[in-house]
Structure 1
Amino acid sequence: MTESTLEWGSARDRTAIRRSGLSMPLRMALRDRVIATDRTVLDYGCGRGEDVRRLGHMQFDAYGWDPYYAPEGRREPADVVMLTYVLNVIEDVTERMETLRRAWSLTNKVLVVSCRLVWERAQVSGEERNDGILTSRDTFQHLFTTNELRVLVEDVTGQRCLSPTPGVVYVFRTDEDRLAYLARETIARHEWAISSDHASAIAEVISFAEAKGRPPLLEEIPPETAPLIAELTRSELIRLVQRSANPTRLADGTKRSTLDTLLYLGISIFNGRPRLSDLPVSVQADIRHCFSSYREACARADRLLLKIRDDTYIRGAMSNSVGKLTATALYTHRRAVPQMPVVLRLYEHCGSVAAGRPDEWNILKLDHRGRRVSWSSYPEFDKDPHPRLAWTFGVDMTNLESKHQSFEGRDNRPILHRKEEFVAPDDTYAAKYRRLTSAEVKAGLYTNPTLIGLEHGWEAELGRCGVELRGHRLVKRRSSNVGTANAAEQEHG
């Protein structure tokens, strides 16, 4: 990004669109608590400044600079620097790198870089020019792959980056901030209820202990709760938990903390194994509680990473996991992912760190021959008895290349059957799904399994069997080629 619009090779100012709300990268940064009220924010290449104005309305200390719309804006170092859809409008590769370098030089804590991706090609009309597209409006777009974006940012900043969602990467200045972010992503947080007196505060301490398997540290107790139990020493707090907490729940909490910690340490190694003292205090506490030493915890995490490469081990883990196992992969609903073996959760997290986990997915696919992680979206999964596939996004773990496929708008989309196989047995809706599947089997709808994977084939089989769906109930068709036209409606399940 040059300071003079005269040096631009295209009308870059025309790419600054008006938005009705916050930009997607800004929403991600707020969601992930990368942006907080005690941090300054610089929008570098802010366009029309809409994100800056909205952050200001939300009481954030935010400011922006843009060579066309805000050339007199503040270009001062900030805790968080947003580089939002800037690199992809720059025609020159060297200038892209220099723009990224300048943004990084202004970053105190974290740089948030976002770019448009190659799967958006259908949305950009124009002719191929250099390594991008020159549109009829004389604007330029270089569409990145997720791997290309990651490599560019890492090469320029000299830091490993993390991707919260495809097309967005975070680059942290310090290990402390990066490790804190990873902890938020991988370790379940305890949500403290508001306490009004000593008794309710004690109840919350017990609830925390049963969730984590250990008493909370002072740093983990909310500021409004801590004064209510301030008279208790650490030893008294420990004895209170030992006396009052449910032993079974404590044991379950310890197991969860052990698995979450192994997951965290397995992912953190991709940026270099941190020292124990560099870890968030809550993670340090979990390690001391769940393992004999930090060395033991790291060794177990390393063994998990090695097992991801072991086809036999992965297949065994999948055979004992919640979800639907096929000849090539395991498919699991989003709600059931926390119940998967930790090695499979680590497998999924490795893919998400490399390419980003897309929003609004609900089915996870893990290949056990080769290594590929895919996330798919089946809208209305719980309401639609046989939801249609909207899109898939997958990353090949051997080369970190990703691919997005959209099925929306297609005439004959893939659909799901036997939904109970994707969720946990105790899932809220599992019993309803099982009843529907039983009725469909009884009606003969699964006699020709190769025909029912797509919408048209499924509709044909419904017609052949003379039935139709009303929500998650299977009933006879009122007017059908099978049976009489005036047959009374009859439920099969």
Structure 2
Amino acid sequence: MTGEVVARHKTALSRGSLSRPMATASADGLLAADASVFDYGCGKGDDIRHLRTLGYSADGWDPAHRPDGVRTPASVVNLGYVLNVIESRSERADVLRAAWALAQDLLIVSARMTWDARDLSGRPLGDGLVTRTGTFQKFYEQNELAEWIQQTVGVRPHAAAPGIFYLFRDEAAAQSFLASRVYTYRPRITIDPQAQYDANEAAIAPLLEFMQRHARAPKQGELEPGAVTGIVEAVGSVGRAQRLIRQVTTDEYWERVSAHRRAELLIYIALSRFGRRPRFSQLDKSLTTDIRSLFGTYQDACRQADRLLLACGDQAMLYVNARSSKIGKQTPSALYVHRSAIAEIPPVLQVYEGCARALAGTIPSANLVKLSVTEPQVSYLTYPTFERDPHPTLRSAITVNLRKLTVDWRDYSQSDNPPLLHRKEEFVGAEHPRRQLYERLTRSEIRANLYAHPERIGTQKGWQSTLEAAGVHLQGHRLKRA
């Protein structure tokens, strides 16, 4: 112990919605409808109240605000921003172990990041600082927090987002989560008219969705019982429904589906090398069936995935793949891609981006990804008005350096001259619903000679000056004469 008394109770916040860790777990599909949730260090109990409103069985304990709460096991335990307010290193470790002991399925651990300390003043204490209000704060680097968690409880944490990690009891559940993080792409399907299929399309839809997701027909028990019942009542059997689907679609379409599913599995298996790659027996049934169906053996899939991972570490290979990508905006130093199109870039680049996410977790607000081809670095860029603004401005950037294993954040929200985008169609996929709208705008801006001096138009002020000098203004995604 440090001997100095700090006001831990003052760190509890009042929230009008779920905390960031709980909202992240919910968005990741980790809060099953029947899950029990325990909030360890619940503060004023806002998460408990919100979870109960949503129908969850939720309870919690806090030494200051809920000391009478009973610390009971639950399927999901949240240790939300508790570790960073404990000034004693040994007590921090004890609290983490205690929370993990209560977690039957999942422990969510979160702490504040080093960038949170940039505008915070206080006096040093131990490995943190005491703020002006008398509270203690320990700020973590992303990799520092992950390593400390693993050393303390002996379980590999999985990054959910910057400062948020998941610890799973069951390895199959962990691998299902990691497999779900791979970006997916489903080629656009064309259904040829066929009377029996058309009449039963709604009943057959769950089977079609399964086949598109897994690139194979389902095994017994993989479809929901209600879906099977609906299919049998409509056309007689699941096999009959499968034959109907193949009659109204082309072999070429299913070859493309298989190719994309193979790529998804290779990307997942390649990224599973972070930590210890799971044994085949540790994967869930659907995942093992997909691998056998598309690769024959797990060993063969692992060999192919390792070659992909090796290529990802070769800067020359990254450069070649970036230059050959049909999706994304290319610059001399990077490839920029909209998040919705990540699954359409070459698999090597998807593994590259996946390596960054394995360290940093998902950045929900980021809608553009910058893949550097000159150094091992991936940046996640947030343009909040990308869809509605013809030239959106940058609000923030999170950069993951894969050599230094660092995660850094930059804020542009207060800048009076932030960077902005042009040629939005270059960032999105070929089937993006607004791509043609973006293309029309770019063509009109080229005709107006607005791109003659690219060095002037990369920021908001420079772009506005260029528009004024040309005597034009923007109305939505249309260029108008002033």
Give the TM-score of the pair, scaled to structure 1.
0.88
Change (3 A) 1:238 1:274: farther
**Which residue type is aligned with residue 280 of structure 1?**
D
Change (3 A) 1:275 1:451: same
The 8 Å contact of residues 185 and 343 in structure 2, kept in 1 or not, is answered as no
Structure 1 residue 58 displacement after superposition? 2.4
**Which residue type is aligned with residue 20 of structure 1?**
G
Partner in structure 2 of residue 26 of structure 1 = 22
Q: Which moved more, 1:201-210 or 1:89-98?
A: 201-210
Alignment of 1:273-292 (within 5 A): 273-292=277-296
Structure 1 residue 456 displacement after superposition? 1.7
User: Which of 291, 295, 299 is equivalent to 1:295?
Assistant: 299
Paired residues, what number?
467
Partner in structure 1 of residue 339 of structure 2 = 334
Change (3 A) 1:199 1:423: closer
CA distance in 2, matches of 1:381, 1:187: 20
User: Which of 32, 52, 60 is equivalent to 2:48?
Assistant: 52
The 8 Å contact of residues 208 and 216 in structure 1, kept in 2 or not, is answered as yes
Structure 1 residue 240 displacement after superposition? 6.2
What is the root-mean-square deviation of aligned Cα atoms in Å? 2.5
Structure 1 residue 290 displacement after superposition? 0.8
Partner in structure 2 of residue 411 of structure 1 = 416
Q: Which moved more, 1:359-368 or 1:115-124?
A: 115-124
Alignment of 1:471-482 (within 5 A): 471-477=476-482
- Residue 250 in structure 1 maps to residue 246 in structure 2: no
User: Which of 66, 81, 84 is equivalent to 1:70?
Assistant: 66
Change (3 A) 1:472 1:229: closer
User: Which of 443, 462, 481 is equivalent to 1:457?
Assistant: 462
Partner in structure 2 of residue 432 of structure 1 = 437
**Which residue type is aligned with residue 211 of structure 2?**
A
CA distance in 2, matches of 1:237, 1:467: 57
CA distance in 1, matches of 2:4, 2:35: 32
Structure 1 residue 102 displacement after superposition? 1.7
Structure 1 residue 244 displacement after superposition? 6.0
Change (3 A) 1:112 1:305: same
Q: Partner of 1:56: helix, strand, or coil?
A: helix
Structure 1 residue 89 displacement after superposition? 0.7
Partner in structure 2 of residue 482 of structure 1 = none
Paired-residue identity, % = 37
Structure 1 residue 200 displacement after superposition? 4.3
Structure 1 residue 53 displacement after superposition? 2.3
Structure 1 residue 235 displacement after superposition? 6.9
- Residue 42 in structure 1 maps to residue 46 in structure 2: no
CA distance in 1, matches of 2:239, 2:472: 67
The 8 Å contact of residues 360 and 377 in structure 1, kept in 2 or not, is answered as yes
Structure 1 residue 188 displacement after superposition? 4.6
Q: Partner of 1:219: helix, strand, or coil?
A: coil
Change (3 A) 1:230 1:218: farther
The 8 Å contact of residues 232 and 238 in structure 2, kept in 1 or not, is answered as no
CA distance in 1, matches of 2:422, 2:238: 53
User: Which of 331, 348, 371 is equivalent to 1:366?
Assistant: 371
Partner in structure 2 of residue 89 of structure 1 = 85
Partner in structure 2 of residue 377 of structure 1 = 382
The 8 Å contact of residues 209 and 241 in structure 1, kept in 2 or not, is answered as no
CA distance in 1, matches of 2:4, 2:38: 23
User: Which of 371, 392, 399 is equivalent to 2:397?
Assistant: 392
Structure 1 residue 34 displacement after superposition? 2.0
CA distance in 1, matches of 2:238, 2:424: 48
CA distance in 2, matches of 1:323, 1:205: 33
CA distance in 1, matches of 2:202, 2:464: 56
Q: What are structure 2's unaligned runs of at least 5 residues? A: 187-198
CA distance in 2, matches of 1:211, 1:247: 16
CA distance in 1, matches of 2:243, 2:480: 60
Q: Partner of 1:75: helix, strand, or coil?
A: coil
The 8 Å contact of residues 9 and 91 in structure 1, kept in 2 or not, is answered as no
Structure 1 residue 243 displacement after superposition? 5.5
Q: Partner of 2:15: helix, strand, or coil?
A: coil
Structure 1 residue 189 displacement after superposition? 10
Alignment of 1:88-487 (within 5 A): 88-122=84-118, 124-186=120-182, 188=184, 200-229=202-231, 246-321=250-325, 322-477=327-482
Cα deviation 1:230-280 (Å, max 9, x = unaligned)? 697887776666566532222222112111111111122213222222212
**Which residue type is aligned with residue 210 of structure 2?**
F
The 8 Å contact of residues 198 and 228 in structure 1, kept in 2 or not, is answered as no
CA distance in 2, matches of 1:237, 1:384: 44
Q: Which moved more, 1:253-262 or 1:418-427?
A: 418-427
Give the TM-score of the pair, scaled to structure 2.
0.90
Change (3 A) 1:274 1:422: same
Q: Partner of 2:106: helix, strand, or coil?
A: strand
**Which residue type is aligned with residue 287 of structure 1?**
I
CA distance in 2, matches of 1:356, 1:187: 13
**Which residue type is aligned with residue 270 of structure 2?**
G
CA distance in 2, matches of 1:45, 1:174: 24
Cα deviation 1:25-63 (Å, max 9, x = unaligned)? 011111212222333222111111121222223232222
Partner in structure 2 of residue 487 of structure 1 = none
The 8 Å contact of residues 79 and 108 in structure 1, kept in 2 or not, is answered as yes
**Which residue type is aligned with residue 224 of structure 2?**
P
Structure 1 residue 24 displacement after superposition? 0.9
Cα deviation 1:73-95 (Å, max 9, x = unaligned)? 12122222110010111112222
Cα deviation 1:348-367 (Å, max 9, x = unaligned)? 11111111121111110111
CA distance in 1, matches of 2:120, 2:86: 15
Change (3 A) 1:236 1:419: closer
